[in-house]
Amino acid sequence: MKFKTTLTTLACAVFACTAFASTANATKIGVSMPTQSLQRWNQDGHNLKDQLEAAGYKVELLYAGDNDIPTQVSQIENLVSANCDVLVVAPIDGGALTTALAGAKDKGIPVVSYDRLIMNSDAISYYATFDNYKVGQIQGNYLVDALKLKDANTKPKNIEFFTGSIDDNNVNFFFGGAMDILKPYLESGKLVCKSGQTEKAQVATLNWSTEEAQKRMENLISSNGYGPEGTPLDAILSSNDSVANGITNALTAAGYNKDNFPVLTGQDCDKPSVKNMKRGLQTMSVFKDTRLLADQVVKMVTAIVNKTEVPVNDTKTYDNGTGIIPSYLCTPIVVTKDNLKEVLIDSGYYTEKEVK
Protein backbone atom coordinates (compact mmCIF):
# COMPACT_ATOMS: atom_id res chain seq x y z
CA MET A 1 0.00 0.00 0.00
CA LYS A 2 2.68 2.43 1.15
CA PHE A 3 4.95 1.12 -1.58
CA LYS A 4 2.33 2.20 -4.11
CA THR A 5 2.05 5.62 -2.52
CA THR A 6 5.81 5.99 -2.70
CA LEU A 7 5.83 5.05 -6.36
CA THR A 8 3.00 7.45 -7.14
CA THR A 9 4.82 10.21 -5.29
CA LEU A 10 7.92 9.31 -7.17
CA ALA A 11 6.20 9.39 -10.54
CA CYS A 12 5.02 12.94 -9.81
CA ALA A 13 8.42 13.80 -8.43
CA VAL A 14 10.14 12.50 -11.54
CA PHE A 15 7.80 14.51 -13.70
CA ALA A 16 8.58 17.68 -11.75
CA CYS A 17 12.25 16.92 -11.78
CA THR A 18 12.50 16.41 -15.51
CA ALA A 19 10.48 19.56 -16.03
CA PHE A 20 13.33 21.45 -14.35
CA ALA A 21 16.01 19.75 -16.36
CA SER A 22 15.83 17.65 -19.42
CA THR A 23 19.50 16.78 -19.77
CA ALA A 24 21.96 15.37 -17.28
CA ASN A 25 24.14 18.44 -17.67
CA ALA A 26 21.53 20.76 -16.28
CA THR A 27 20.44 18.38 -13.56
CA LYS A 28 21.48 19.40 -10.06
CA ILE A 29 21.96 16.82 -7.32
CA GLY A 30 22.13 17.97 -3.70
CA VAL A 31 24.16 15.73 -1.41
CA SER A 32 23.99 16.11 2.37
CA MET A 33 26.57 14.24 4.47
CA PRO A 34 26.72 14.02 8.29
CA THR A 35 30.31 14.82 9.25
CA GLN A 36 33.75 15.49 7.95
CA SER A 37 35.39 14.17 11.09
CA LEU A 38 35.12 10.48 10.16
CA GLN A 39 37.07 9.13 7.22
CA ARG A 40 34.09 7.07 6.11
CA TRP A 41 31.94 10.11 5.22
CA ASN A 42 34.73 12.04 3.53
CA GLN A 43 35.23 9.09 1.24
CA ASP A 44 31.52 8.64 0.60
CA GLY A 45 30.98 12.31 -0.18
CA HIS A 46 33.90 12.58 -2.54
CA ASN A 47 33.29 9.28 -4.32
CA LEU A 48 29.69 10.21 -4.82
CA LYS A 49 30.46 13.71 -6.07
CA ASP A 50 33.11 12.42 -8.48
CA GLN A 51 30.90 9.67 -9.85
CA LEU A 52 27.84 11.93 -10.21
CA GLU A 53 29.95 14.55 -11.98
CA ALA A 54 31.43 11.90 -14.25
CA ALA A 55 27.85 11.02 -15.20
CA GLY A 56 27.29 14.66 -16.14
CA TYR A 57 25.39 16.00 -13.11
CA LYS A 58 26.01 19.23 -11.25
CA VAL A 59 26.64 18.38 -7.60
CA GLU A 60 26.26 20.44 -4.44
CA LEU A 61 27.99 18.46 -1.65
CA LEU A 62 27.46 19.73 1.90
CA TYR A 63 28.82 18.41 5.20
CA ALA A 64 26.94 19.19 8.43
CA GLY A 65 30.09 20.25 10.30
CA ASP A 66 30.85 17.61 12.88
CA ASN A 67 27.50 15.82 13.17
CA ASP A 68 25.59 19.06 13.81
CA ILE A 69 21.88 18.37 13.37
CA PRO A 70 20.67 22.02 13.01
CA THR A 71 23.34 22.53 10.33
CA GLN A 72 22.12 19.50 8.43
CA VAL A 73 18.52 20.72 8.65
CA SER A 74 19.38 24.16 7.29
CA GLN A 75 21.62 22.74 4.57
CA ILE A 76 18.77 20.55 3.37
CA GLU A 77 16.40 23.52 3.42
CA ASN A 78 18.90 25.43 1.28
CA LEU A 79 19.22 22.56 -1.21
CA VAL A 80 15.42 22.49 -1.48
CA SER A 81 15.24 26.27 -1.98
CA ALA A 82 17.93 26.00 -4.64
CA ASN A 83 15.60 23.60 -6.52
CA CYS A 84 17.93 20.63 -6.62
CA ASP A 85 16.44 17.98 -8.87
CA VAL A 86 17.26 15.04 -6.59
CA LEU A 87 18.46 15.01 -2.99
CA VAL A 88 20.80 12.36 -1.58
CA VAL A 89 20.94 12.49 2.21
CA ALA A 90 22.93 10.55 4.82
CA PRO A 91 21.27 11.67 8.07
CA ILE A 92 22.99 12.34 11.41
CA ASP A 93 19.84 11.67 13.41
CA GLY A 94 17.59 9.54 11.24
CA GLY A 95 14.48 11.02 12.86
CA ALA A 96 15.32 14.72 12.79
CA LEU A 97 14.68 15.63 9.17
CA THR A 98 10.92 15.19 8.82
CA THR A 99 10.09 18.90 8.55
CA ALA A 100 13.03 19.82 6.31
CA LEU A 101 12.17 17.01 3.92
CA ALA A 102 8.46 17.85 3.85
CA GLY A 103 9.66 20.89 1.88
CA ALA A 104 11.33 18.60 -0.66
CA LYS A 105 8.15 16.59 -1.04
CA ASP A 106 6.08 19.75 -1.54
CA LYS A 107 8.36 20.73 -4.40
CA GLY A 108 8.32 17.22 -5.88
CA ILE A 109 12.05 16.66 -5.25
CA PRO A 110 12.78 12.92 -4.90
CA VAL A 111 14.97 12.01 -1.92
CA VAL A 112 17.38 9.08 -1.78
CA SER A 113 18.36 8.03 1.74
CA TYR A 114 22.07 7.25 1.68
CA ASP A 115 23.59 4.50 3.84
CA ARG A 116 21.41 5.40 6.88
CA LEU A 117 17.64 5.35 6.68
CA ILE A 118 15.78 8.62 7.23
CA MET A 119 12.93 7.81 9.59
CA ASN A 120 9.36 9.12 9.80
CA SER A 121 9.39 10.97 6.51
CA ASP A 122 7.18 10.11 3.57
CA ALA A 123 9.45 12.20 1.35
CA ILE A 124 11.90 9.31 0.96
CA SER A 125 11.67 7.59 -2.42
CA TYR A 126 14.56 5.13 -2.23
CA TYR A 127 17.29 3.87 0.07
CA ALA A 128 20.79 2.81 -0.99
CA THR A 129 22.93 1.07 1.60
CA PHE A 130 24.82 -2.10 2.46
CA ASP A 131 23.19 -5.17 3.90
CA ASN A 132 23.41 -3.84 7.45
CA TYR A 133 21.97 -6.90 9.14
CA LYS A 134 24.58 -8.98 7.36
CA VAL A 135 27.32 -6.68 8.70
CA GLY A 136 26.21 -7.59 12.24
CA GLN A 137 25.99 -11.26 11.38
CA ILE A 138 29.48 -11.25 9.89
CA GLN A 139 30.81 -9.77 13.14
CA GLY A 140 28.83 -12.23 15.28
CA ASN A 141 29.91 -15.25 13.25
CA TYR A 142 33.51 -14.07 13.27
CA LEU A 143 33.45 -14.05 17.10
CA VAL A 144 31.82 -17.49 17.22
CA ASP A 145 34.62 -18.92 15.07
CA ALA A 146 37.50 -17.01 16.65
CA LEU A 147 36.43 -18.01 20.17
CA LYS A 148 35.59 -21.57 19.04
CA LEU A 149 32.19 -21.28 20.71
CA LYS A 150 30.81 -24.26 18.83
CA ASP A 151 33.48 -26.50 20.29
CA ALA A 152 32.12 -28.42 23.31
CA ASN A 153 35.55 -28.26 25.00
CA THR A 154 35.78 -24.46 24.90
CA LYS A 155 35.65 -22.87 28.37
CA PRO A 156 33.35 -19.83 28.89
CA LYS A 157 34.72 -16.64 27.29
CA ASN A 158 34.41 -13.10 28.61
CA ILE A 159 33.01 -10.53 26.21
CA GLU A 160 31.89 -6.88 26.27
CA PHE A 161 29.63 -5.14 23.76
CA PHE A 162 29.79 -1.79 21.98
CA THR A 163 27.55 -0.41 19.29
CA GLY A 164 27.07 2.98 17.62
CA SER A 165 24.83 6.01 17.86
CA ILE A 166 21.34 5.23 19.06
CA ASP A 167 19.85 7.78 16.61
CA ASP A 168 21.29 5.82 13.66
CA ASN A 169 18.78 3.24 12.39
CA ASN A 170 21.69 1.11 11.15
CA VAL A 171 22.56 0.30 14.76
CA ASN A 172 19.39 -1.79 15.03
CA PHE A 173 20.66 -3.94 12.18
CA PHE A 174 24.36 -4.05 13.11
CA PHE A 175 23.73 -4.80 16.77
CA GLY A 176 20.62 -6.88 16.09
CA GLY A 177 22.42 -9.00 13.49
CA ALA A 178 25.37 -9.66 15.80
CA MET A 179 23.22 -10.34 18.87
CA ASP A 180 20.99 -12.76 16.98
CA ILE A 181 24.13 -14.85 16.52
CA LEU A 182 25.64 -14.29 19.99
CA LYS A 183 22.57 -14.38 22.30
CA PRO A 184 22.31 -18.19 22.39
CA TYR A 185 25.91 -18.36 23.66
CA LEU A 186 25.17 -15.79 26.37
CA GLU A 187 22.13 -17.78 27.37
CA SER A 188 24.06 -21.05 27.51
CA GLY A 189 26.86 -19.43 29.56
CA LYS A 190 29.50 -20.02 26.89
CA LEU A 191 29.80 -16.24 26.63
CA VAL A 192 29.91 -14.18 29.81
CA CYS A 193 29.45 -10.40 29.91
CA LYS A 194 30.77 -9.38 33.32
CA SER A 195 29.43 -5.83 33.18
CA GLY A 196 25.98 -7.21 32.44
CA GLN A 197 25.64 -4.53 29.74
CA THR A 198 24.09 -6.35 26.81
CA GLU A 199 21.22 -4.07 25.82
CA LYS A 200 21.51 -1.70 22.87
CA ALA A 201 20.85 1.41 24.98
CA GLN A 202 23.56 0.36 27.48
CA VAL A 203 26.24 -0.27 24.87
CA ALA A 204 25.49 2.60 22.46
CA THR A 205 28.13 5.23 21.61
CA LEU A 206 26.75 8.68 20.84
CA ASN A 207 27.87 9.91 17.40
CA TRP A 208 30.04 6.79 17.07
CA SER A 209 32.63 8.77 19.01
CA THR A 210 36.12 7.30 19.49
CA GLU A 211 36.57 9.31 22.70
CA GLU A 212 33.26 8.10 24.18
CA ALA A 213 34.12 4.50 23.35
CA GLN A 214 37.55 4.89 24.92
CA LYS A 215 36.03 6.29 28.13
CA ARG A 216 33.51 3.47 28.38
CA MET A 217 36.20 0.84 27.77
CA GLU A 218 38.40 2.43 30.47
CA ASN A 219 35.47 2.23 32.89
CA LEU A 220 34.78 -1.39 31.98
CA ILE A 221 38.44 -2.25 32.55
CA SER A 222 38.54 -0.65 35.98
CA SER A 223 35.14 -1.79 37.19
CA ASN A 224 35.60 -5.41 36.11
CA GLY A 225 39.31 -5.74 36.77
CA TYR A 226 40.08 -6.67 33.16
CA GLY A 227 43.74 -6.68 32.16
CA PRO A 228 46.56 -8.89 30.89
CA GLU A 229 47.31 -9.76 34.52
CA GLY A 230 43.73 -9.43 35.74
CA THR A 231 40.34 -10.81 34.75
CA PRO A 232 40.65 -12.22 31.23
CA LEU A 233 38.81 -10.30 28.52
CA ASP A 234 38.53 -12.55 25.49
CA ALA A 235 36.50 -10.48 23.05
CA ILE A 236 34.74 -7.24 22.31
CA LEU A 237 31.99 -6.75 19.80
CA SER A 238 32.36 -3.30 18.27
CA SER A 239 29.94 -2.27 15.54
CA ASN A 240 32.46 -0.11 13.69
CA ASP A 241 36.04 1.12 13.44
CA SER A 242 35.70 4.58 15.05
CA VAL A 243 34.39 2.82 18.17
CA ALA A 244 36.99 0.01 17.87
CA ASN A 245 39.75 2.64 17.82
CA GLY A 246 38.62 4.04 21.17
CA ILE A 247 38.50 0.51 22.56
CA THR A 248 41.98 -0.20 21.20
CA ASN A 249 43.36 2.96 22.83
CA ALA A 250 41.97 1.92 26.21
CA LEU A 251 43.20 -1.67 25.86
CA THR A 252 46.74 -0.74 24.84
CA ALA A 253 46.90 1.78 27.72
CA ALA A 254 45.92 -1.07 30.04
CA GLY A 255 48.85 -3.16 28.83
CA TYR A 256 47.34 -5.29 26.07
CA ASN A 257 49.51 -5.84 23.01
CA LYS A 258 49.57 -8.00 19.89
CA ASP A 259 50.35 -11.11 21.91
CA ASN A 260 47.35 -10.90 24.23
CA PHE A 261 44.87 -8.64 22.46
CA PRO A 262 41.19 -9.64 22.81
CA VAL A 263 39.32 -10.48 19.61
CA LEU A 264 37.95 -7.11 18.47
CA THR A 265 35.55 -6.51 15.58
CA GLY A 266 34.98 -3.40 13.49
CA GLN A 267 33.48 -2.07 10.30
CA ASP A 268 34.54 0.28 7.47
CA CYS A 269 38.23 -0.60 7.13
CA ASP A 270 39.19 2.93 8.15
CA LYS A 271 42.92 3.56 7.81
CA PRO A 272 43.75 3.50 11.56
CA SER A 273 41.92 0.16 11.87
CA VAL A 274 43.70 -1.31 8.87
CA LYS A 275 47.00 -0.31 10.46
CA ASN A 276 45.86 -1.84 13.77
CA MET A 277 44.94 -5.09 12.03
CA LYS A 278 48.39 -5.21 10.45
CA ARG A 279 49.89 -4.71 13.93
CA GLY A 280 47.84 -7.55 15.40
CA LEU A 281 45.58 -5.30 17.49
CA GLN A 282 42.02 -5.02 16.03
CA THR A 283 41.18 -8.46 14.65
CA MET A 284 38.75 -7.84 11.83
CA SER A 285 36.72 -5.21 10.05
CA VAL A 286 33.83 -5.31 7.62
CA PHE A 287 34.62 -3.63 4.33
CA LYS A 288 31.87 -1.64 2.67
CA ASP A 289 33.29 -0.42 -0.62
CA THR A 290 31.99 3.15 -0.83
CA ARG A 291 32.80 3.13 -4.56
CA LEU A 292 30.11 0.47 -5.07
CA LEU A 293 27.58 2.41 -3.03
CA ALA A 294 28.31 5.60 -4.96
CA ASP A 295 27.98 3.69 -8.23
CA GLN A 296 24.61 2.35 -7.13
CA VAL A 297 23.39 5.81 -6.17
CA VAL A 298 24.41 7.19 -9.56
CA LYS A 299 22.33 4.41 -11.17
CA MET A 300 19.36 5.26 -8.93
CA VAL A 301 19.61 8.97 -9.61
CA THR A 302 19.90 8.39 -13.34
CA ALA A 303 16.86 6.11 -13.38
CA ILE A 304 14.89 8.68 -11.35
CA VAL A 305 15.88 11.49 -13.71
CA ASN A 306 15.18 9.43 -16.84
CA LYS A 307 11.95 7.98 -15.48
CA THR A 308 13.18 4.43 -16.00
CA GLU A 309 12.94 1.57 -13.52
CA VAL A 310 14.99 2.33 -10.43
CA PRO A 311 17.25 -0.62 -9.49
CA VAL A 312 16.34 -2.06 -6.07
CA ASN A 313 16.95 -5.51 -4.60
CA ASP A 314 15.02 -5.31 -1.32
CA THR A 315 11.40 -4.28 -0.85
CA LYS A 316 10.67 -5.72 2.57
CA THR A 317 13.36 -4.89 5.14
CA TYR A 318 13.45 -1.14 5.63
CA ASP A 319 10.32 0.44 7.07
CA ASN A 320 10.99 4.06 8.03
CA GLY A 321 7.77 4.49 10.00
CA THR A 322 5.78 5.63 6.97
CA GLY A 323 6.07 2.33 5.10
CA ILE A 324 8.66 0.20 3.34
CA ILE A 325 11.29 2.13 1.42
CA PRO A 326 12.46 0.28 -1.71
CA SER A 327 16.18 -0.32 -1.19
CA TYR A 328 19.35 -1.44 -2.87
CA LEU A 329 21.65 -3.34 -0.51
CA CYS A 330 25.32 -3.71 -1.47
CA THR A 331 27.34 -6.62 -0.10
CA PRO A 332 29.76 -6.21 2.85
CA ILE A 333 32.98 -8.26 3.01
CA VAL A 334 34.97 -9.54 5.99
CA VAL A 335 38.55 -8.28 6.17
CA THR A 336 41.38 -9.54 8.39
CA LYS A 337 45.13 -9.14 8.18
CA ASP A 338 45.16 -12.17 5.88
CA ASN A 339 43.11 -10.68 3.04
CA LEU A 340 43.49 -6.95 3.54
CA LYS A 341 46.15 -6.60 0.87
CA GLU A 342 43.99 -8.30 -1.71
CA VAL A 343 40.70 -6.56 -0.80
CA LEU A 344 41.93 -3.06 0.01
CA ILE A 345 45.22 -2.50 -1.76
CA ASP A 346 45.10 -4.67 -4.88
CA SER A 347 41.60 -3.29 -5.59
CA GLY A 348 43.00 0.26 -5.51
CA TYR A 349 40.97 1.37 -2.48
CA TYR A 350 44.12 2.33 -0.58
CA THR A 351 47.74 2.60 -1.58
CA GLU A 352 50.22 0.52 0.40
CA LYS A 353 51.66 3.75 1.80
CA GLU A 354 48.32 5.03 3.12
CA VAL A 355 47.95 2.10 5.49
CA LYS A 356 51.60 1.55 6.38
Q: Is 41:12 a contact under the CB 8 Å cutoff? A: no
Among 6-14, 163-171, 219-227, 303-311, which window interacts with ligand BGC (CB under 6 A)? Answer: 163-171
Q: How far is the CB of 32 from ligand BGC (least distance, A)?
A: 14
What would the DSSP string read from start to end of 118-170? Answer: PPS-TTEEEEEEE-HHHHHHHHHHHHHHHTTTTSTTPPPEEEEEE---TT-TH
Site for ligand BGC in 322-341 (CB under 6 A): none
Q: Is 302 in the site for ligand BGC (CB under 6 A)?
A: no
Q: Does an H or E element contain 235, and which? A: strand 235-238
* Spatial contact of 56 and 22, defined as CB atoms under 8 Å apart: no
Query: CA 345 to CA 354: how far, in whole Å?
Result: 9
212 binds ligand BGC (CB under 6 A): no
Q: Which segment (53-61, 162-170, 178-186, 332-340) binds ligand BGC by CB under 6 A?
A: 162-170
Piece in contact with ligand BGC (CB under 6 A), picked from 21-29, 47-55, 164-172, 180-188: 164-172
How many angstroms separate the CA atoms of 227 and 218, rounded? 11
Q: Total number of residues binding ligand BGC (CB under 6 A)?
A: 13
265 binds ligand BGC (CB under 6 A): no
Q: Which is nearer to ligand BGC, 214 or 267 (CB)?
A: 267
Residue whose CB is less far from ligand BGC, 158 or 249: 249
164 binds ligand BGC per the rule CB under 6 A:
yes
Contact call for residue 268 and ligand BGC (CB under 6 A)? yes
Q: Does 168 bind ligand BGC (CB under 6 A)?
A: yes
> 144, 150 in Cβ contact below 8 A?
yes
Q: Is 272 in the site for ligand BGC (CB under 6 A)?
A: no
Q: Other CB atoms closer than 10 Å to residue 83's CB: what's the count?
A: 14
What is the spatial distance between Cα 350 and Cα 348, in angstroms, rounded to a whole number?
5
Strands 191-192 and 235-238, how do they pair?
unpaired
The 120-159 contact track toward ligand BGC, x by CB under 6 A, reads ----------------------------------------
For ligand BGC, which is the closer residue by CB, 18 or 37? 37
Judged by CB under 6 A, which of 85, 115, 122, 234 binds ligand BGC?
115
β-strand pairing of 157-162 with 111-114: unpaired
Residue in the shown chain whose Cβ atom is closest to ligand BGC: 240
Name 237's bridge partners.
Answer: 161
Note whether 208 binds ligand BGC by CB under 6 A.
yes
CA 265/CA 267 separation, integer angstroms:
7
Which of 28, 40, 190, 216 binds ligand BGC (CB under 6 A)? It is 40
105 sits near ligand BGC (criterion: CB under 6 A): no
Q: Does 240 bind ligand BGC (CB under 6 A)?
A: yes
CA 38, 282, 137 angle in degrees (round to 5)? Answer: 85
Cβ–Cβ under 8 Å, residues 119 and 320: yes
Residues that bind ligand BGC (CB under 6 A): 38, 40, 115-116, 164, 168, 170, 208, 240, 242, 267-268, 288
